A and B are shown apart, each in its own frame.
Chain A
Amino acid sequence: MGEKKKFRWVGTRPIRHDGVDKVTGRASFGADLAFADMLWGRVLRSPHAHARIRRIDVSKALALPGVKAVATGADLPELESKDASLGEGATNFRDLSRNVLARDTVLYHGHAVAAVAATTPELAEQALAAIEVEYEPLPLVLSIEAATAPGAPVLHADLVTRGADANIPNVASRIVFSRGDAEAAFAKSDVVVERTYRTQTVHQGYIEPHAVVARTNADGQSVVWCCTQGPFMVRAYCAAVLGLELSQLKVIPSEIGGGFGGKTTVYVEPLAVLLSRKSGRPVKMVMSREEVFRATGPAGAAKLHVKFGATRDGKLTAGAARMWYEAGAFPGSPVQAGAMTVFAPYALESFSIEGFDVVVNKPKTAAYRAPGAPQAAFAVESLLDELALALGVDPIELRLANAAREGTQAPYGPRFKKIGMIETLEAARAHPHYQAKLGPNQGRGVAVGFWFNGGMSSSAEIHLTEEGTAVVASGNPDIGGSRTSLAILAAEELGIDVAKVRPVVGDTESVGYTDMTGGSRVTFATGMAVVEAARDIVRQLRERAAKLWECDPAQVAFADGRCVPAEGSGLSKEPLTVADIARKMGATGGPISGQAQLNARGAGPGFATHLCDVEVDPETGRVDVIRYTAVQDAGRAIHPGYVEGQMQGGAAQGVGWALHEEYVFDERGVLENPGFLDYRMPVASDLPMIDTVVVEVPNPNHPYGVRGVGETPIVPPLAAVANAVARATGVRMDALPISPPRLLAALESRVA
Chain B
Amino acid sequence: MIQVVIPSGLRKLTGGVTELQLAVKDVRGAVAALDARFPGFAAALGSRFAVAIDGEILHDAWHEPLPAGSELHFLPALSGGA
A520 touches B82 (CB 8 A): yes
A367 touches B55 (CB 8 A): no
- With A178-B8, A336-B78 given, is the CB distance from A599 to B58 under 8 Å? yes
Cα A366 to Cα B80 in complex, Å, equals 10
Interface segment out of the listed A49-57, A65-73, A449-457: A449-457
Cα A457 to Cα B61 in complex, Å, equals 11
B59 touches A89 (CB 8 A): yes
Chain B residues positioned under 8 Å from A328 (CB to CB): none
Chain B residues positioned under 8 Å from A455 (CB to CB): 57-59
Minimum distance in angstroms from B17 CB to a CB of chain A: 14
User: Quick one: closest A residue to B80, CB to CB?
Assistant: A519
* Interface bin, chain B: 20 to 34
Decide yes or no whether A679 CB sits under 8 A from chain B.
no
A175 touches B81 (CB 8 A): no
Contact of B79 among A179, A204, A367, A417 (CB under 8 A): A367
B81 touches A371 (CB 8 A): yes
Contact of B8 among A176, A204, A480, A646 (CB under 8 A): A176
Decide yes or no whether B27 CB sits under 8 A from chain A.
no
Chain B residues positioned under 8 Å from A416 (CB to CB): 55
Chain A residues positioned under 8 Å from B7 (CB to CB): 177, 413
- With A413-B75, A603-B57 given, is the CB distance from A261 to B8 under 8 Å? no
Cα A457 to Cα B60 in complex, Å, equals 9
User: Quick one: closest B residue to A339, CB to CB?
Assistant: B76
Chain B residues positioned under 8 Å from A369 (CB to CB): 81-82
Contact of B80 among A82, A261, A413, A599 (CB under 8 A): A261
A-B contact number at CB 8 A: 126
- With A414-B57, A701-B56 given, is the CB distance from A89 to B48 under 8 Å? yes
A600-640 to B contact mask, C-beta < 8 Å, 1/0: 01110000000000000000000000000000000000000
Minimum distance in angstroms from B5 CB to a CB of chain A: 6
- With A455-B57, A456-B59 given, is the CB distance from A261 to B81 under 8 Å? yes
Decide yes or no whether B47 CB sits under 8 A from chain A.
yes
Cα A737 to Cα B36 in complex, Å, equals 50
Contact residues of A between 492 and 518, Cβ < 8 Å to B: 516-518
Contact of B81 among A82, A84, A179, A518 (CB under 8 A): A518
B52 touches A414 (CB 8 A): yes
Chain A residues positioned under 8 Å from B74 (CB to CB): 413
A413 touches B9 (CB 8 A): no
A72-85 to B contact mask, C-beta < 8 Å, 1/0: 00000000001111
Chain B residues positioned under 8 Å from A36 (CB to CB): none
- With A163-B9, A413-B7, A416-B55 given, is the CB distance from A370 to B60 under 8 Å? no
Chain A residues positioned under 8 Å from B71 (CB to CB): 414
Decide yes or no whether A710 CB sits under 8 A from chain B.
yes
Contact of A518 among B54, B76, B77, B80 (CB under 8 A): B80
A674-690 to B contact mask, C-beta < 8 Å, 1/0: 00000000000000000
Chain B residues positioned under 8 Å from A88 (CB to CB): 79
B76 touches A414 (CB 8 A): no
Cα A177 to Cα B73 in complex, Å, equals 13
* Interface bin, chain A: 35 or more
Decide yes or no whether A401 CB sits under 8 A from chain B.
no
- With A414-B57, A480-B82 given, is the CB distance from A89 to B52 under 8 Å? no
Contact of A264 among B73, B76, B81 (CB under 8 A): B81
A340 touches B59 (CB 8 A): no
Chain A residues positioned under 8 Å from B52 (CB to CB): 413-414
A337 touches B56 (CB 8 A): no
Minimum distance in angstroms from A68 CB to a CB of chain B: 36
Decide yes or no whether B15 CB sits under 8 A from chain A.
no
Cα A453 to Cα B82 in complex, Å, equals 10
Decide yes or no whether A368 CB sits under 8 A from chain B.
yes
Cα A480 to Cα B80 in complex, Å, equals 14
B32-59 to A contact mask, C-beta < 8 Å, 1/0: 0000000000000011100011111111
Cα A175 to Cα B8 in complex, Å, equals 8
Contact of A711 among B5, B77, B82 (CB under 8 A): B82
Minimum distance in angstroms from B46 CB to a CB of chain A: 6
Decide yes or no whether A483 CB sits under 8 A from chain B.
no
A370 touches B80 (CB 8 A): yes
Cα A422 to Cα B26 in complex, Å, equals 35
Give the 7 A-B residue pairs with the shortest CB-CB distance, closest first. A261-B81, A519-B80, A710-B82, A367-B81, A413-B73, A414-B52, A90-B48
- What are 23 residue pairs bridging A and B, where the CB atoms are less than 8 Å apart in the complex? A83-B46, A85-B48, A85-B60, A88-B79, A90-B47, A90-B48, A260-B82, A261-B82, A337-B76, A367-B81, A414-B55, A414-B57, A414-B71, A452-B57, A455-B57, A456-B59, A457-B60, A519-B80, A519-B82, A599-B60, A599-B61, A701-B56, A708-B82
7 new A-B contacts, CB < 8 A, other than A371-B80, A452-B80, A710-B80, are: A89-B79, A90-B48, A176-B9, A369-B82, A414-B55, A453-B80, A599-B60
